Chain A
Amino acid sequence: MSEKKLRMVHYLNQFFGQIGGEEKADVAFSVKEGPVGPGVLLQKLLGEDGTIMATIICGDNYFAGNLDRASEEALKLVEPFKPDILFAGPAFAAGRYGLNCGEFCKTVGGKLGIPAITGMYQENPGVEIYRKDCYIAQTGDSAAKMAEAVNRMVSIARKVISTETHSKVLAGDQIGKPSEDEYFPRGVLRNEHTEKTAACRGLDMLLAKIKGQPFVSEVVMAKYDSIPPPPPVKDLKSCEVALVSDCGLCPKGNPHGLSGRGNKVWCTYETKDLFPEKGSLPEYEVAHTGYYPKEVLENPYRILPVDIMRELENEGIIGKFHPTYFCTSGNVTPNLVCHDMGEGIAAEIKKRQIGAVILTST
């Protein structure tokens, strides 16, 4: 482990923080120097490698009652200790505590840019919500399994902050696989060093497949739901139609911060501002690295046929061309993110009672 003695801060609820039981769930934050409760075991296992500078204690209801306020307060209390790593809980199966630990790890760890480790039982609702934002060690369902839980949290901590160089992960940060270090998968895909080249692995797989022998594909395709299409528009002449696009075309300066790859943001622009009918068009940029944008920048109507839509409205072929353009960038965006963005855009479309949508893409 690292030669430098690492500084750690530990978050506990009122019970494990030895203030009281459920009757004390409304207590506000307090800070104690050094380790408290399970923190004592945590410190013992860490030994010379790290020091728990302080324990931040807060009642489960106080925290859960206002997550934003609680995270802000927690951050203010934690920051002066200049920690290298954060611990929270473990929360086992306790729902409120689990959610609070997760939120603490996510926001305080996130703002300080340091790793945060907690522990939960698989059914704790905090797992699904926070497993991507911090390391959640897998634990038993009660404090009867405290020793095992704390052991796992420490073992993850040792890996995460290690300066050893024999990491399998290309980026070099030392972290074991979820199954090895017994934490919940964080939904991250990492490049690893391996013995065989992809060509070698591919041909091994191919030869097995040709011979009818079993093989394991490196990727098993996801199963997608079949979404039945809605019924067609009854009367286009009275229908309001909007343009939605994943082309990434936006005003120069990209005010909503669309990412050119793996984008997670959607936004709207008024067509009268972005594509004024009179005078010159403003300057655009394209936040999308999957196509060469020259033609689109020279003529945005290539990807957003605003001109045609206006003609169709004038000719009475469509009832109305909705004055807002729904904009996103779709370049290797993960399915779940696409799903969320789609749901968000659809909700807004429905709220505005828009009857139909034309989706353009590249």
Chain B
Amino acid sequence: MNLEIESIDIRELKKGAKTCVSDHVLTVNLKELEQVLLKGSGCLKSVDIHLVYPGDSVRIVNLMDVVQPRCKVDVQDAHFPGFIGKVQRAGVGRTRSLRGIAVVVANPYTKRHYSALLDMSGKAAELSKYGQMRNVVVVPHMAEDAEDRDFEDVVKIAGLKTAVYLAQAADGHPADEIEHFDLHLPSLPRDNGLPRVACYYQLYTPQHDYKGISDKCFYGTDVRNLLPTIIHPNEVLDGGVTGHQTIRSLDTYTVQNHGVIKELYSRHGRDLTFCGVVIGVANMDPVQRQRKAMMASGLIANVLGADGVMTVKAHGGMPHVDTGLVAEECERLGVKTVYSIQCLVGHGSLAEAAIYGSNLLDAIVVTGAPVEKMKLAFKPERVLGGTPKTKIYHPDPVTQLAGDSTIEVEEFLIAGVHDQTGGARIIVSEY
């Protein structure tokens, strides 16, 4: 399967009468975009769209997703297949991508216990990759008779539609970079002396499901009962997989730029052979978990023929144990494993970060300590996606509001800082 991503760098963003990209400047007709988003959705009453820039005194709250503007170029109705476009394989042909811009989606009606936020100024903006970009903030408003869980899905789709709309605006604009993601698994060389390396990607965990309903994150469907299976890495990069509602260090933008998958591609043919991706879901039931570990490791060892595997997990402690089981089963089948985890404790030693203990898991990489708390001494002039009185989550029983002059936030709730897929330049040290 061969995917070509043509990237265009956006150096300026403004609103105007005609949506287009000219000379690296993206102009957006906000009213037209709103009409596009309202079409066919009974759940939406209206959509506010804001353009925000690095340095703005803005805090965006109740974040549901962040998306990189991308669209398919050579096939109709194929954008984010299953989510927006017709169900078909993602990851082939040509995709246009805009860099330096993100679609930031907020749900002001959310009843979830916590959501992510993004500041365009101050500490959070410095640390977040999205704080350095010019962003299109999409804030849908719920129709009176809409059900709030259905509305959540509609909000997510609005973000994806916006991403497509913006990327389509660059039709005809020359690309600044063209990347090729060309991997044909059946004909991978076996005698070139390079180790075969796979990625185990835990797509989702259902433990935070609002109203017990899983987020649709795979070709427009939820994956709570997914048995482990093999997919092509391009399907992850090209819109077959999206991020988790409320993000938790895994928004769609992060998935579109999957750290481990891109790193495997960059080394393919050089120091390793990238031999495929197995996806699985964190299971809440122990028997299902064991079955999944057995099946996933079987696919990695006996079907992909991997010599080594790196695991990627969703945020949380149970996902940690879950991928640990998969990693152990891989080791038992002779597949060398590197297990990626997060440090979910702020105190103690790094040894305490390993919630799941096993002598077989001797190669561990820590993508970050996402629950480290950060004081944000930034009082925004404007709050988008909510109001200055919107409560900002803190695990201790304290009350803090979006408009306060100082808030304390766990880092995983600042969009664009931590990255479950291993793409952030962060390491955890003992102090």
Decide: A202 and B348 in contact? CB cutoff 8 A. Answer: no
Q: Is B184 an interface residue (CB 8 A)?
A: no
Which residues of the other chain, B, contact A210 by a CB distance below 8 angstroms?
A: 195, 197, 307-308, 336
**B263 to nearest A CB, angstroms?**
4
Q: Is B422 an interface residue (CB 8 A)?
A: yes
Q: Is B349 an interface residue (CB 8 A)?
A: yes
Find A222's partner among B259, B337, B357, B397 (CB 8 Å cutoff).
B357
Decide: A294 and B349 in contact? CB cutoff 8 A. Answer: no
Assembled-state Cα–Cα distance A281/B263 (Å): 54
Find B352's partner among A169, A185, A211, A222 (CB 8 Å cutoff).
A222
Find B366's partner among A175, A218, A221, A257 (CB 8 Å cutoff).
A218
Which of B210, B307, B365 has the most CB atoms of chain A within a 10 A radius of its CB?
B365
Q: Which residues, 347 to 400 on B, are CB-close (under 8 Å) to A?
A: 347-355, 357-359, 361-369, 371-372, 374-375, 395-397
Given A199-B263, A199-B423, A222-B351, A185 contacting B127 (CB threshold 8 A): no
Nearest CB in chain A to that of B260: its residue: A199
Assembled-state Cα–Cα distance A294/B371 (Å): 24
Which of A191, A215, A262 has the most CB atoms of chain B within a 10 A radius of its CB?
A191
Which residues of the other chain, A, contact B264 by a CB distance below 8 angstroms?
A: 203
Decide: B338 and A189 in contact? CB cutoff 8 A. Answer: no
**A317 to nearest B CB, angstroms?**
27
Q: Which residues, 57 to 104 on B, are CB-close (under 8 Å) to A?
A: none
Which of A193, A209, A221, A287 has the most CB atoms of chain B within a 10 A radius of its CB?
A221
Which residues of the other chain, A, contact B364 by a CB distance below 8 angstroms?
A: 217-219
Chain A 203-244, CB within 8 Å of chain B: the 1/0 string?
Answer: 101110111000101111110100000000000000000000
Which of B195, B371, B431 has the most CB atoms of chain A within a 10 A radius of its CB?
B431
Find A220's partner among B262, B336, B351, B367 (CB 8 Å cutoff).
B351
Decide: A190 and B429 in contact? CB cutoff 8 A. Answer: yes
Decide: A191 and B207 in contact? CB cutoff 8 A. Answer: no
Decide: A198 and B365 in contact? CB cutoff 8 A. Answer: yes
Q: Is A171 an interface residue (CB 8 A)?
A: yes
Chain B 101-121, CB within 8 Å of chain A: the 1/0 string?
Answer: 000000000000110000000
Nearest CB in chain A to that of B259: its residue: A199
Decide: B352 and A197 in contact? CB cutoff 8 A. Answer: no
- How many B residues face the partner with a CB closer than 8 A? 79
Stretch at the interface among A42-50, A82-90, A91-99, A331-339: A331-339
**A72 to nearest B CB, angstroms?**
25
Which residues of the other chain, A, contact B271 by a CB distance below 8 angstroms?
A: 207
A-B CB contact pairs (8 Å), 17 listed: A169-B431, A171-B374, A188-B347, A189-B430, A191-B372, A197-B259, A197-B422, A197-B425, A199-B262, A202-B338, A203-B260, A206-B363, A217-B362, A217-B365, A219-B364, A262-B346, A334-B352
Q: Which residues of B contact A (CB under 8 A)?
A: 113-114, 123, 127, 195, 197, 207-212, 259-260, 262-264, 267, 271-272, 307-310, 316-318, 336-338, 340-341, 343-355, 357-359, 361-369, 371-372, 374-375, 395-397, 410-411, 417, 419, 421-431
Q: Which residues of A contact B (CB under 8 A)?
A: 132, 169-172, 175, 177-178, 185-203, 205-207, 209-211, 215, 217-222, 224, 254, 257-262, 287, 289-292, 294, 331-336
Which 6 interchain pairs have the tightest Cβ spacing?
A199-B422, A198-B422, A222-B351, A332-B344, A261-B395, A199-B259
